[in-house]
Structure 1
Amino acid sequence: MAFYEDFSKVYDQVMDQSLYDQWLAFTNRHLAKTTQSIFELACGSGALSVRLAQQGYQIVGLDISEEMLTLASQKATRAGVSIDFVAGDMRELSGLGPFDCVTCYSDSICYMEDLNEVKKVFSEVSSVLTKGGQFLFDVHSLHQMDAIFPGTSYHENEEDFAFLWDSFAGESAHAVIHELTFFVKDTDGKFVRKDEVHKERTYEIEQYLSALTDFSKVEVYADFTDDAPNQESLRWFFVCVK
């Protein structure tokens, strides 16, 4: 499982920031009106956490990467909002909560090694939700993993860093391997190379639904919209009620 250790250095520069506005819009459309507290799993550099906090919600953000949480704390300070950021693993949430809503976006569930780990996350989320609380998350679709990612490349060259992202089909069904290479300028002006490998995997919608046993209602949408998924959808969104 990748922890975005070196990626954190250039994450905000290569990440499409407009995506956070789309995650925010989707969340706002589906949040219960009574929601006060939100727990953001895999909060990364805090872009969505800050946006939600600015709307008045009580936010706790969790990420496995200490480097990402440093960026998130700095971002919250600059924005003038108070957010509790916690270093931890979404597969172990004991001692946290309860929360009115839990979110897990940016296909972070796809970083789980297998379906058993996915089920573990779902169980842990249920344990920190209030009765009637919501769980909002997204994953890559089968189409995205099988037909779009394999063989694609994204390269960016800036003054103080260069970034190469190449994707290949994984060994398991509906899996992909992302090979990331960074050249980041050090304090002495020299560029330092760092390499990371990120592995993602997704499953059929029915498998996700079968794993959400602790939730009484589950709705599935596609690509930041309120439309049902189709064969060419790239990202599936789940809105679950405990």
Structure 2
Amino acid sequence: MSFQIFAHYYDEIMDQSVYDSWLRYVEKYTNGEKGLNLMDLACGTGKIAVQLAKKGHHVTGIDLSDEMLAVAYNRMLEEKTTLTLAVGDMRALEPMGDYDVITCFSDSLCYLANEEEVLSAFKGVSENLSDTGVFLFDVHSLYQVNEVFPGYQYIYQDEKGAFLWESFEGESENSVEHDLTFFVATEANPELFERYAEYHRERTYPLAVYRRLLQEAGFSDVTVTADFGDAEVAEDSKRWFFACKK
């Protein structure tokens, strides 16, 4: 899985209002406190991590992609704030301390290949979470993966290039495959474009499976909602939001 080109387009194609919604979701569980120790797992380009740091929290951003972290580092400098950024694999998360809040948003857990990898991620989070801490994450719902994504197409273009996103039903149960094509203007001649391609696979599971894996990882108090915690889960909810405590 490569994010080399995707990292540079990620913030352009993301609905910017979604980041505000994720932040509000986190704030529901910080109770207005400042100076909390937060880990943003799969932090990507650091947009959420930087905003949490600007709110006065001590933030550690973890991501598997060097390219994503490079964008996050530049954002940190531009926003004149400070946070810790580190390369890390959520499937093998090392003990890093007792965090008050650990987040994992933008369906990042859906990139894990199977239940065993999801369980490993949950266990790593549990080991890094304080006894009174909360683990917040979202995943694609079954409806999103099986009904919305197959046949989905999206096109974005600007003066620097163009981006085509096509989604197809995956080979595994409750999975989807994304075919990403980029046309990027060359530095030597802005009228010439180079083509790049990336392939992303995502998978989700029934709510009962997530609950079972969370329980195996040591979480006994799990709340599941939709719409960033503002609605109950429905058959056509596109994302599920989890708030988990030990």
Normalized against structure 2, the TM-score is what?
Answer: 0.95
For the Cα contact (< 8 Å) 2:164–2:182, is it kept in 1?
yes
- Listed one character per residue, the Cα deviations across residues 43-64 of structure 1 (whole Å, up to 9, x for unaligned) are 0001001111111010000111
1: CA distance between counterparts of 2:73 and 2:16? 17
> Structure 1 runs of 4+ off > 6 angstroms?
none
For the Cα contact (< 8 Å) 1:31–1:134, is it kept in 2?
no
2: CA distance between counterparts of 1:166 and 1:47? 25
| Residue in 2 that maps onto 1:119 | 119
- Listed one character per residue, the Cα deviations across residues 140-172 of structure 1 (whole Å, up to 9, x for unaligned) are 000000100000100112111100000000011
For the Cα contact (< 8 Å) 1:41–1:62, is it kept in 2?
yes
| Residue in 2 that maps onto 1:12 | 11
SS at match of 1:225: coil
| Residue in 2 that maps onto 1:67 | 67
Structure 2, unaligned runs of 5 or more:
none
Paired letter, 2:224: V
Question: Which deviates further from its counterpart, 114-123 or 219-228?
Answer: 219-228
| Residue in 2 that maps onto 1:195 | 197
| Residue in 2 that maps onto 1:171 | 171
After the TM superposition, which residues 1-242 of structure 1 pair with which residues of structure 2 at under 5 Å, given as runs? 2-31=1-30, 36-189=36-189, 190-213=192-215, 214-242=218-246
- Listed one character per residue, the Cα deviations across residues 7-42 of structure 1 (whole Å, up to 9, x for unaligned) are 012222112121100100111112356671110011
Normalized against structure 1, the TM-score is what?
Answer: 0.96
Aligned sequence identity (%): 43
Q: Give the count of matched residue pairs.
A: 241
1: CA distance between counterparts of 2:157 and 2:49? 28
2: CA distance between counterparts of 1:161 and 1:60? 33
Q: CA deviation at 1:3?
A: 3.7
SS at match of 2:244: strand
